């Protein structure tokens, strides 16, 4: 009996138990049985005073409880969790989900963080981070994380007595690969294709473990040209960890701080939390699979709102349906722009700077209207069409009704009137139809258009207002921006996929231009993942 008692005391101090923790389908309200594995260990004061590393499931998860972390006896439980949880849409989970808990909550002072060491299952060269699941908000929140790719684990600090945690990797954000050097602004600087300007990175030479801390002050290198290039180091920073004669170094990058992002990237959720779907502040938005009109994601998609210059695509489509000869030369009339000033002041209207009687081709008018969103050139197209202005606007309304855009209505052809309205769902349907015309598809996505007027030989350069088309991250094959005080910033972007499909993203009501682009890009990324 004495030996048995001592043996039980030993178990209570240092031993552990692993067994299946089962929840029946009836208890869980599910059709399948969920099985969790439990690791349990009791820690007494003597063990706590010396410090102890709780190591469970073949060292997959270690809790480093140094002296002072715990003040009283407690049982520590770790679950290898097999329950379904919503996962961050921008990242890949590369570990099991573990749940740890100090059963005696009073034993832990949450002002004192402790280290966890977490092995991951999938080896890759991407940026990794530990997140804990916040059930109250239904999202994953990041923890400060250091990756040890050679050892295949990460370390994080945490100050919670209970948490569900997992390791996630950011696809395409490289932290292990090669670094080259360049000579520009001397100092501890780097160019990065992944981390935004202002971020601080620690770059290790994997051959000698020397490191240098650098600030990102430029974008690059081009990942398409150098797929294994993590960063480029300024010459002086490169010299601190290697020799210039080596050309490139095998490096590991540890982010020390990531600057606030003005545009979306794979790291956009790094600062706050990560959820299973995009968190969008726009008034309304929609992602549609063009193949079958399937809605991938939506917010207030049927709400009718002003659509601003997105109107112009329909006006150009109606004009092109009259079968004009695009290289015909026509004269501009200053009277065309007077229609614009019925809705806005002259200085508020985007327009092509052209004088009365100046001549240009019909093609120039179309590209000015779609690339630069010029309002006066839309009215010029209406004037030179076979339809009078009222007939033209009536045709715009009838054609969208035929397409099934039942909530859409126009009172003029440019979008300057807030009475021109649609819903993002309607506009996705409209987008699918208007972009069937190759001229509209091309003109809406070209970065810039240049021409010279025929009679006065005045040169014009028109720049596209959609910043997303300037990125090489997506195959954008349809685009249009719009803005009114009443509408906020509106944007339509169609993107091709690797499966030779298209997704259409329509967003209405952004408060700023940056928000319009960044949240649209976030929806593009989500749509490409989900398609």
- Give 273's pLDDT tier (boundaries 50, 70, 90): low
Q: Give residue 18's pLDDT.
A: 42
**Does residue 262 have a pLDDT over 60?**
no
Q: Is the peptide bond prior to 25 cis by the omega test (within 30 degrees of 0)?
A: no
Q: Which of 128, 312, 317, 432 is catalytic?
A: 312
494 CA to centre of own chain? 16
Q: Give residue 276's pLDDT.
A: 81
Kindly state whether residue 267 falls inside one of the protein's structural domains: no
Kindly state whether residue 339 falls inside one of the protein's structural domains: yes
Please report, for the domain that includes residue 410, its CATH number: 3.40.710.10
Rg (CA), the chain: 30
Q: How does pLDDT run across 33-60, given as a tens digit for each residue?
A: 458 899 999 999 999 999 999 999 999 9
Q: Give residue 310's pLDDT.
A: 98
Q: How does pLDDT run across 169-223, given as a tens digit for each residue?
A: 998 899 999 999 999 889 999 999 999 999 999 999 999 999 999 999 998 898 8
Q: Which of 14, 82, 68 is nearest to 44 (CA)?
A: 14
Q: Which of 206, 174, 176, 202 is nearest to 188 (CA)?
A: 202
- Give 275's pLDDT tier (boundaries 50, 70, 90): confident
Number of domains in the chain: 3
Q: 165 and 183 share a domain?
A: no
**Calpha distance 309→12 (Å, rounded):** 72
Q: 351 and 220 share a domain?
A: no
Q: 238 and 312 share a domain?
A: no
Q: Which of 94, 86, 143 is nearest to 275 (CA)?
A: 86
Which of 6-20, 23-37, 99-113, 413-427 is predicted most confidently?
A: 413-427
Q: How does pLDDT run across 431-484, given as a tens digit for each residue?
A: 999 999 999 999 999 999 999 999 999 999 999 988 898 877 889 999 999 999
Domain limit, last residue, from 169, 184, 211: 169
Strand partners, 56: 61
Range of the domain at 302: 284-530
- Higher-pLDDT residue of 287 and 17 is 287
**Does residue 147 have a pLDDT over 50?**
yes
Q: How does pLDDT run across 109-143, given as a tens digit for each residue?
A: 888 999 999 999 988 999 999 999 988 888 899 99
Mean pLDDT, rounded, for 376-405: 98
Q: What is the mean pLDDT of the chain?
A: 90
**Does residue 271 have a pLDDT over 80?**
no
Kindly state whether residue 264 falls inside one of the protein's structural domains: no
Q: 91 and 185 share a domain?
A: no
Q: Give residue 9's pLDDT.
A: 35
Q: 304 and 190 share a domain?
A: no
312 as an active site residue: the answer is yes
Q: Which of 40, 275, 368, 373 is catalytic?
A: 373
Q: 392 and 466 share a domain?
A: yes
Kindly state whether residue 400 falls inside one of the protein's structural domains: yes
Kindly state whether residue 22 falls inside one of the protein's structural domains: yes
Q: 387 and 437 share a domain?
A: yes
Q: 116 and 185 share a domain?
A: no
Q: 209 and 90 share a domain?
A: no
Tell me how many degrees the CA angle 391-397-400 measures, rounded to the nearest 5: 135
Q: Give residue 272's pLDDT.
A: 54
Please report, for the domain that includes residue 17, its CATH number: 2.60.220.30
E strands in 175-328: 176-182, 189-192, 200-205, 211-219, 229-234, 249-257, 284-289, 294-299, 305-306
Q: 324 and 377 share a domain?
A: yes
- Higher-pLDDT residue of 60 and 29 is 60
Tokens of 518: 């960044």
37 as an active site residue: the answer is no
Q: 142 and 45 share a domain?
A: yes
Q: Give residue 278's pLDDT.
A: 87
Distance of CA 512 to CAs 301, 344, 371, 487, 489, Å?
20, 20, 20, 11, 7
Kindly state whether residue 270 falls inside one of the protein's structural domains: no
Which segment of 100-109, 146-155, 252-261, 478-487 scores lowest on mean pLDDT? Answer: 252-261
Domain limit, last residue, from 116, 146, 169: 169
Instruction: Confirm or deny that 299 is annotated as ligand binding.
Output: no
Q: What percent of the chain has pLDDT over 70?
A: 91
Kindly state whether residue 345 falls inside one of the protein's structural domains: yes
- Pairing between β-strand 153-158 and β-strand 114-119 as defined by DSSP bridges: antiparallel
Q: What is the number of other CB atoms lying within 10 angstroms of the CB of residue 234?
A: 23
Q: What percent of the chain has pLDDT over 90?
A: 78
Please report, for the domain that includes residue 223, its CATH number: 2.40.40.10
- Give 31's pLDDT tier (boundaries 50, 70, 90): very low
For 356-374, letters b (16+ CB in 10 Å) and e give: eebebbbbbbbbbbbbbbb
Kindly state whether residue 5 falls inside one of the protein's structural domains: no
Q: 511 and 379 share a domain?
A: yes
- Higher-pLDDT residue of 25 and 322 is 322
């Amino acid at each position: 009996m004495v030996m048995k008692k001592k043996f039980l005391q030993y178990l209570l101090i240092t031993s552990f138990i692993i067994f299946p923790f089962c929840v029946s389908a009836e208890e869980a309200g599910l059709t399948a049985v969920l099985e969790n594995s439990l690791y349990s260990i009791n820690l007494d004061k003597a063990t706590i005073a010396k410090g102890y590393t709780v190591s469970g499931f073949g060292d997959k998860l270690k809790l480093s409880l140094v002296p002072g972390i715990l003040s009283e006896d407690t049982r520590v439980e770790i679950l290898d969790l097999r329950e379904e949880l919503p996962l961050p849409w921008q990242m890949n989970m590369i570990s099991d989900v573990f749940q740890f808990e100090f059963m005696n909550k009073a034993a832990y002072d949450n002002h004192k963080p402790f280290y966890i060491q977490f092995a991951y299952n999938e080896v890759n060269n991407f940026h990794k981070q530990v997140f804990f699941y916040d059930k109250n908000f239904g999202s994953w929140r990041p923890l400060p994380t250091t990756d040890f790719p050679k050892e295949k684990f990460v370390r994080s600090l945490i100050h919670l007595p209970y948490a569900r945690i997992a390791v996630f990797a950011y696809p395409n954000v490289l932290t292990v690969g090669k670094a080259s050097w360049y000579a520009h602004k001397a100092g501890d600087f780097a160019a990065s294709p992944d981390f935004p300007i202002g971020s601080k990175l620690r770059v290790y030479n994997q051959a000698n473990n020397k490191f240098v801390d650098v600030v990102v002050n430029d974008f690059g290198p081009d990942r398409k040209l150098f797929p294994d290039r993590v960063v480029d180091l300024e010459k002086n920073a490169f010299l601190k960890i290697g020799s210039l004669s080596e050309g490139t170094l095998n490096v590991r990058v540890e982010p020390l701080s990531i600057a606030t992002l003005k545009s979306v990237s794979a790291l956009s959720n790094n600062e706050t939390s990560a959820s299973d779907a995009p968190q969008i502040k726009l008034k309304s938005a929609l992602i549609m699979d063009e193949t079958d009109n399937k809605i991938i994601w939506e917010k207030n998609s049927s709400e009718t709102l002003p659509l601003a210059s997105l109107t112009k695509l329909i006006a150009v489509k109606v004009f092109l349906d009259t079968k004009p000869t695009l290289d015909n030369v026509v004269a501009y009339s200053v009277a065309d722009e007077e229609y614009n000033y019925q809705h806005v002041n002259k200085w508020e209207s985007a327009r092509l700077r052209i004088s009365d009687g100046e001549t240009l081709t019909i093609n120039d008018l179309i590209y000015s209207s779609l690339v630069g969103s010029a309002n006066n050139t839309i009215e010029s197209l209406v004037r030179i069409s076979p339809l009078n202005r009222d007939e033209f606007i009536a045709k715009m309304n009838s054609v969208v009704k035929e397409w099934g855009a039942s909530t859409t209505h126009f009172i003029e052809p440019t979008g300057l009137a807030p009475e021109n309205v649609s819903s993002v769902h309607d506009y996705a349907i409209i987008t699918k139809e208007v972009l069937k015309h190759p001229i509209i598809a091309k003109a809406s996505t070209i970065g810039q258009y240049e021409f010279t007027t025929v009679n006065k030989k005045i040169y014009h350069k028109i720049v596209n207002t959609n910043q997303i088309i300037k990125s090489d991250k997506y195959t954008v094959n349809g685009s249009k921006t719009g803005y009114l005080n009443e509408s906020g910033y509106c944007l339509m972007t169609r993107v091709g996929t690797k499966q030779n499909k298209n997704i259409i993203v329509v967003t209405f009501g952004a408060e700023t231009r940056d928000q319009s682009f960044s949240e649209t890009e976030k929806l593009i990324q989500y749509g490409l993942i989900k398609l």
